[in-house]
Structure formats: structure tokens, C-alpha cells
Chains A and B, each alone.
Chain A
Amino acid sequence: MNLTLRVWRQKNRLSVGQFETYPLSDISEDSSFLEMLDILSEQLVADGHEPVAFDHDCREGICGMCSMTINGIPHGPERGTTACQLHMRHFHDGQTITIEPWRAKPFPVVKDLVVDRTPFDKIVQSGGFISARAGSAVDANTMPIDKQTADYAMDAAACIGCGACVAACPNASAMLFTAAKVAHMNSLPQGKPEKHRRALAMVGTMDGEGFGGCTNIGECEAACPKSIPLDMIAHLNRDYAVAQVKNFFDPVV
């Protein structure tokens, strides 16, 4: 298939970016979206131009590295799919495709389609863990966990930390990301002791990093490549409210 690409080019964080248009021909329908970009890169290199910089690694939809907005939708038009798992059979011959980086203030552009997502790491560093030193654990079957709870925790833990939720949100809120981590850990018995601290600390860091507030729009759920449900945000709101009350009467942080 033949395509026209409109790609965001930006040299570095401080420079001004703009869209460039590139024609591309003979793309196989079986190619992935990123393989299509590889071909563009080779074409640009052959002409002596710099290829488009984009983040990518595992190319099997799990590492969360790839991050680009395709025709206005983070990770592109297929639901529940990362850009690396999006295949060209979902586009048609002659189509114009617009590709741009995540647009969110806390994720500044590093170059072209590459953005800086370290604020996500900071949110986790402030409380997204269950403290159990290596060597301190008891036998794994000592504490049975009902299947429903384990499955729910797994649903939440499926988050790949790609940031599509932030890119999709008009407020650039990181609620779905933070909520998934909190719901995963707070729902498990081993995560209970730090439950209140976790909710307060992670939400505090999230706000501090400049992410916007949640206004229940739901774009995040629609853009999430792992289909993390909006219910997780309800879970976080509940845990956060309880933690605040608890903290008022009996400080946990």
C-alpha cells in the first residue's frame, strides 16, 4: 500500500517542532506500524536525512516503550492495542496518517516522537511498592488469596506504564495510571499495611509532577492498550478519601 505520512519533527526539548510530510510506497499489509516507520527511517537515511526518532523496544505490546499518537488517538485506531502491535492492514491504500508525540505538559518532548515519562517513575517511587526486603518473605501459600481478588489485582497490574491515558486525557491526568498501581497493591492482603500511605503519597506526587485532575471523561480507558477500566479510578478515589480521613485523625504520613 502507498501512504502519506505527516510526522512531528522536533530537534530537542527546547526547539520548535513542526509537521513534515513524507510519501511512502510498497508497504506490506502484514507489517506492523513500527515496521512501517523503520522503512521510512531507511528511506530518510538513504537520502541523507535524520530518521524519525521514536521510542520502541519489545515490539510485542508489553514493555510500554512505544508512545505515539496516530491520527489523533494514542496508539492509533485499534482498541486495546499498542502502536507496536498495530498492523498496517487496519489502514487503507492512499491514506494520510498523522503521527505525533504524546501531548502532555508533564511529558516534554525529547526529540520527534520521543517524550520524557520519568514522572511516572517518580509516582511509583513515592509509594508504588509493597515493602518486603529480599529474604524476609514467608511461604507463599501461608496467606490464601481468593481468586476474585487475585484476578482483580492482576487486571490492575496489567498496566504497561506507556502514558497513553495521560496523552488521551484533556486534563493530562495520570489518574488511571496511578489508580491501577494503587488498586493492584491495595487490594492484596500483603499490600494492606501500607494502603493509606500509598494512596496519599502517590496522589501527592502525581499532583506535584503537574498532572491534571480527573473529571471523569473516560478518554483514558478508551485509549489504554491494556483496557484498564475506569473502575480503578473509583477504587483510588475511595482509598484516597479513606486515607485522608484516617490521616486527619491518626496521621499515617
Chain B
Amino acid sequence: MNLDSKIPEGPLAEKWTSHKFNMKLVNPANRRKYNVIVVGSGLAGGAAAASLAEQGYNVACFCYQDSPRRAHSIAAQGGINAAKNYQNDGDSVRRLFYDTVKGGDYRAREANVYRLAEVSADIIDQCVANGVPFAREYGGLLANRSFGGAQVSRTFYARGQTGQQLLLGAYSALSKQIGLGKVKMYNRHEMLDLVKVDGHAKGIIVRNMVTGEISRHAGDCVVLATGGYGNVFFLSTNAQGCNVTAAYRAYKRGAGFANPCYTQIHPTCIPVHGDQQSKLTLMSESLRNDGRVWAPKDKETAKKIREGKLKPGDVAEDERDYYLERKYPSFGNLAPRDISSRAAKEACDEGRGVATTGLGVFLDFRDAIQRDGQKAIEERYGNLFEMYQCITGDNPYETPMMIFPAVHYTMGGLWVDYNLQSTIPGMFVGGEANFSDHGANRLGASALMQGLADGYFVLPYTVGNYLGEQGVAAAGKVTTDDPAFAEAEAAVKERIDTFMSIGGNESPRSFHKRLGQIVWEKCGMARSEQGLKEAIREIRELRKEFWSNLKLVGDADGLNPELERAGRVADFIEFGELMCRDALMREESCGGHFRVEHQTEDGEALRDDENFTFAGVWAYKGDDADPELHKEALVYENVKLATRSYK
């Protein structure tokens, strides 16, 4: 597997500029001869499809929802980072770069992160131009808030609906291109395989989820922007439909999968209520700007609260442990996500957890309301408070919120080089689906930044460069008549037939739940060698059971949510094993990956820079063969590796 990262030569700050200059260009009149396939219509996919169409390429865009406006980017609440330094508080491209590399626990690629920070300011400009109604000050200028892992105020926001507004911005640009006929949009279509011709990605096989029709689509290149794999845990903050299938199918066709064990557990989610639960709901990290996180100091107090004998508001000040402020005085409640999550788990492990399950801590706005007034808090977080009350029935203006960590984001993903091209030439990967920018932990408000950076400002250049290199004579030459399409289509159909014919007794949802329990227990917030080995064994057994005892009702030739889930769960099961393998291989703790064998005396993550400063990239070797590990060494020329400290 060739892991040439293709990082341009030259000083860090000039790499992107000089790379853009050295790229091959495609003459505007020739662009209409090329067809580009974009899978996914979220921030990365939607923005890329719109931008490539604006440049003149013909784009076919696919999404599994009934409209591109529904991609899960829409659910991001808190904000988007950008190095604008509008607050005059010391921000800069370099500082955003540094914070992101440090926040990622020194496991991201320097050059990619720098480019991300560099284009961040352009994103805000672009979004405002497209009509995104960011929050503003009375003077009419853009407002900012601060977010975890940063000591400057660089986060732009649109109430608690930033992701929605940014996505609607990209969606409106995409809609314009659909209206102009430059983008052909395929709603309710799911990608089930990647097609390679002469080693290059040249198409996809999709299923029309309404009619069940399997169809072939050819293009000059393929862009995957299919999001993360958090739903491998069954319960996560992801939308119900989020899945790993497109990425996993590409992996099976030869794309390297990097760092699958890097998953982010978000500290501020609403605690689990019971076993009928289908998803977890995130409360934006921005709440930690004003909310104070605490757990009772004493186990007995916690017990009384759990049993409803004591109201949280009646707990005396000296009975409360504001543990983030105590342990990390300089960052306090704004400590990064991985650290905050582990601290909450620790408090609950000590028996100091609240909520009926004992798996919860408080996020308290009492002091903020006293200081700024209820109106100011309402202005900042009104919709989040409403959402909390709607779900739990508690009023957070009166009683503290209860929160617990939940799976939220996946930093791992398909390996890409500096051009966001995977190990398969002609297949590009953007947004959460790739691995490149967040290392082992993502900072808050950086996912939106990365999705739009890839979609608006990176892919439109690097895809053009690839197409330019292929030459205009090759444009549009591959058609769906190529035997590779027939082979892939037959494989997809055979797989669906197999699902339909197993005739067992257990539903896809039940398998999914069981898989989720295994990975959450053993590859969640804390991981051990023994647990991971057990998990791998259990997942293999689950896989056997799945293929022999799956129960599938309905038909393949129409809308069938059970069939959709079966296909996704089948891939999640195999992927879950890969994730555990990666976690087992990485004998260190870094960011969201915490190996209990590797921690300091006071329970902080202990990295092993000497042996693990690399991206672990897995190559598929067959259904029953072990995948092969390849390594991309991470070279730090501009940042000195240090122990992350937020104290």
C-alpha cells in the first residue's frame, strides 16, 4: 500500500499556496466534458458538489435521505471555528493550527491541519455571502463564543443551530446548481459498492431505496463524503441512517482505512433512559461556557439524589465537586472533550454519578443565571434548554441539567493524502469520512470547519488537479458497459439475495444492538488488551450468527428499512472488528483512545511518541484473512511534541 502523503515542499505557511500554483488546471471549456460522482450531501459533499458544478464540471450527487438538506451535518449545534481574530484576543492561523494539532494529541498531519486553519477564514466569508445568519453584535458585526480546548474566542455560531444553517447554505448553493442542470441529484439512493477500472475509481453501484433498483453510475472520479461510523456503537448522537457502508465497501476495494480506533466520546449528552432508547442526544459543548460541571463529593449524597430523596439544588456548595475546575484550573469547564468525558466516567465509577442509572453528572447554570440573568442565558442557549426539557421533562433554568458522555464523532476514516485522495487513485474522501485533520481527538467546532474546508476550498482544487492529470482525452471515456461494473453489480445483487434468503430468527436491529454493547463495553471510553481480545472474539461469533440467523421480512424490490439496516449492520460488524484490532495494536493512550495499561499516576493519558507517532492504516486482505497494517509516519517540523496539559 502506497502511503505517500504528497505533502508539498517548502515552509508550512506556503505549502498550500505553492501547491495550488503547481496544480494541473482544466480549461473552463473542457470542464463540461468531465463527470464527477459525489456521494453524500452534507457539508463536505454538498459544498464539493456545488463548487465543482460552479466551476463547470458535471456532477452526480447521491444521498440516502429524501433531500440533500437532511444530511447529518445539520445536527451540529455549537459553532464553527475560524482564525479571524475578530476579537483581537491573539488568534491567528498559526494558533488555530497549533490548537488543533495539540487538541488532536499530536496524531494529525501537520500540513493538512495548517491548510485547514488557513482556509478557515474564507469559510466564514463564503457562508455569510450565501446568507448564513450568524449571530451578530448590536454593532452589526459577527459575534463569537469560546469552545473547548482553546483560550481564544474564535467560534462563529447561529444560535444552537449552526450546523443546520451552514448546511442550508451549502444546500442552497447545491440547489442552484441542480436547478441549472449542472448537478443531477439522486435522493434516497444508497451506495453499495465502488467500481474500479484499471486501478482507478470510476463509478459506483447504488440501490434506489424506493424501487429497490440497482444501478450503475460511471464518472471520471468519485468523491466520498459519507460521514462517520459512530453508529457502530448502536447508541450514538449520529442520525439513524449514518453508516460505514460506503467507506467500508471502498476499503474492501483497496482503500486504506486509517485509525479506526479514534472515536470521540462527547462529554455533554443527555444520559441514557433505558433499553428502549434508539439514540443519544447531544447538548452543545457551548453550554460549558456558562454551565459548571459537578458531581457530589460524597457517594451518599449522590445516592440520595439518585433515589429522589435530595434535590440537586439543595446540595450545599462545599458538598459539590466541580471536578473540571479542580483538576484543570486554567481550562476549567472548557477542557477538551476526551478529557472531560473521562473525568465524568471517573466520577461515576467512584459511585458519585447521578441520574437513575448512576451514569450522569450535573451541568449547572445556577451561577450563570445569577450573574447574567435568565434572559441572557435564554438568548445564548434557549433552544438547547427547550430541547433538554422536551426530552427529559426537567426545566434546566430551575434544576441543573444531567449529562453523560456519548459517542459523537469518529476521527478515524479512509486514509487520504494531502490532496484528499485515498489509496485508490481517483477516489477522494472529504469531511468526517476521511482521517486527516483531527488526529486522535477533535476539538469542538472543528468538524463544521473541516467539512466546509474540504468541500468549498480543497476538493474543488485537488479534484481538478487529478482530472487535469488524466487529460481531456480520457474525459467521460469509461462507461457502465465496462465489465467491472457488471462484476460489482452482480456482487451487490448476490449479497442482497443472501440477506433475503437466510431465513433466521433475529432482526437486524437486534444484531446491531448486540454489536453496540460489545464495542461500547470494550472499545469505548476505556480499552484494555484483554477486553479488546474478547471483543474481537465476540464480534466474530456475532458475525457468524448474523449470516446464519438473520431474519429479514419484506421484499428487495421496494422500500424496505429492514434490508437497508441489514446491509449496514453486516458492514458494521466487520468494521467493529477492525476498530478493535486497531485499538489493540495502538499500545498507548492518545486523545479519544484510552488504553488502561497506559496512563499516568493521576489517570491521564500516556502517549508513546517513540513508537506510535504514526497513522495506522489497514489494508483489506480477504473476508477471513487478517487485515494488514501499514504506517504513515507523522513528522512534526513545526510543533514540538509535548504532553498535553490543560491544567
Contacts and interface: CB of A to CB of B under 8 A. Distances in A.
Interface in A98-150: 110-111, 114, 116-118, 120-121, 124-126, 128-141, 143-147, 150
Interface residues of B, number: 82
B393 interface: yes
Given A51-B562, A65-B70, A144-B141, 5 more contacts: A28-B274, A62-B75, A63-B70, A63-B72, A110-B559
Contact of A157 (B168, B175, B278): B168
A190 B559 contact: no
A224 to B, nearest CB: 14
B431 to A, nearest CB: 15
A60 B283 CA distance: 10
B390 A46 contact: no
B75 A137 contact: no
Nearest to B282: A60
A160 B239 contact: no
B136 A184 contact: no
Interface stretch (A33-41, A165-173, A206-214, A243-251): A33-41
A126 B179 contact: yes
Given A62-B75, A65-B65, A146-B140, A154 B278 contact: no
B134 interface: yes
Contacts of A93: none
Give the 7 A-B CB pairs with smallest separation, nearest first: A144-B140, A125-B179, A137-B129, A132-B129, A129-B172, A137-B125, A30-B273
Interface stretch (A81-89, A215-223, A229-237): A81-89
22 contacts: A34-B278, A46-B507, A51-B553, A53-B560, A60-B282, A64-B70, A65-B65, A87-B390, A87-B391, A111-B558, A125-B176, A131-B176, A134-B47, A140-B127, A144-B136, A145-B140, A146-B136, A147-B136, A150-B140, A157-B131, A185-B131, A190-B130
A180 B521 CA distance: 45
Given A63-B72, A154-B133, A35 B175 contact: no
A145 B279 CA distance: 38
A27 B237 CA distance: 22
Contacts of B163: 62
Contacts of A45: 507, 551, 553, 562
A186 B165 CA distance: 16
A134 B51 contact: yes
B83 to A, nearest CB: 13
A134 B460 contact: yes
- Of residues A45, A87, A126, A160, which shows the largest number of chain B Cβ atoms within 10 Å of its Cβ? A45
A140 B278 contact: no
B308 interface: no
Contact of B129 (A136, A151, A157): A136
Nearest to A160: B164
Interface of A: 11-12, 27-28, 30-32, 34-36, 38-39, 41-42, 44-46, 48-51, 53, 55-65, 78, 80-81, 85, 87, 89, 110-111, 114, 116-118, 120-121, 124-126, 128-141, 143-147, 150-151, 153-154, 157-158, 160-161, 184-185, 188, 190-191
Nearest to A63: B70
- Of residues B65, B122, B159, B172, which shows the largest number of chain A Cβ atoms within 10 Å of its Cβ? B172
A35 B163 CA distance: 25
Contacts of B168: 157
A157 B163 CA distance: 12
Contacts of A32: 278, 391
A119 to B, nearest CB: 11
Nearest to A52: B561
Interface in B3-59: 47, 50-51, 54
Contacts of A134: 47, 50-51, 54, 126, 173, 456-457, 460
A121 to B, nearest CB: 5
Given A51-B562, A145-B140, A62 B133 contact: no
A34 B561 CA distance: 14
Nearest to A122: B179
B126 A138 contact: no
Contacts of A140: 84, 124-125, 127-128, 134, 142
A154 B210 CA distance: 34
A85 B129 contact: no
Contacts of B551: 45
A191 B131 contact: yes
Contacts of B553: 44-45, 48-51
A209 to B, nearest CB: 14
A46 B509 CA distance: 11
A126 to B, nearest CB: 6
Contact of B122 (A38, A137, A184, A190): A137
B472 interface: no
A121 B239 contact: no
Contacts of A63: 65, 70, 72, 74-75, 239
B133 A153 contact: yes
A153 B460 CA distance: 30
Given A55-B66, A129-B176, A28 B164 contact: no
Contacts of A114: 559
- Of residues B126, B127, B131, B240, which shows the largest number of chain A Cβ atoms within 10 Å of its Cβ? B131
A149 B131 CA distance: 12
A125 B159 CA distance: 26
A57 B139 contact: no
A78 B387 CA distance: 13
B172 A154 contact: no
B161 interface: yes
Contact of B126 (A30, A36, A120, A135): A135
Given A58-B72, A58-B74, A85 B393 contact: no
B125 A154 contact: no
Contacts of A130: 129-131, 172
Contact of B559 (A42, A53, A144): A53
B161 A158 contact: yes
- Of residues B127, B176, B456, which shows the largest number of chain A Cβ atoms within 10 Å of its Cβ? B176
Contacts of A118: 66-67, 187
A87 B129 contact: no
Interface in B151-209: 158-159, 161, 163-165, 168, 171-173, 175-176, 178-179, 185, 187
B456 A65 contact: no
A157 B273 contact: no
Interface in B222-253: 237, 239-241
Contact of B274 (A11, A30, A60): A30
A64 B122 CA distance: 29
Nearest to B278: A35
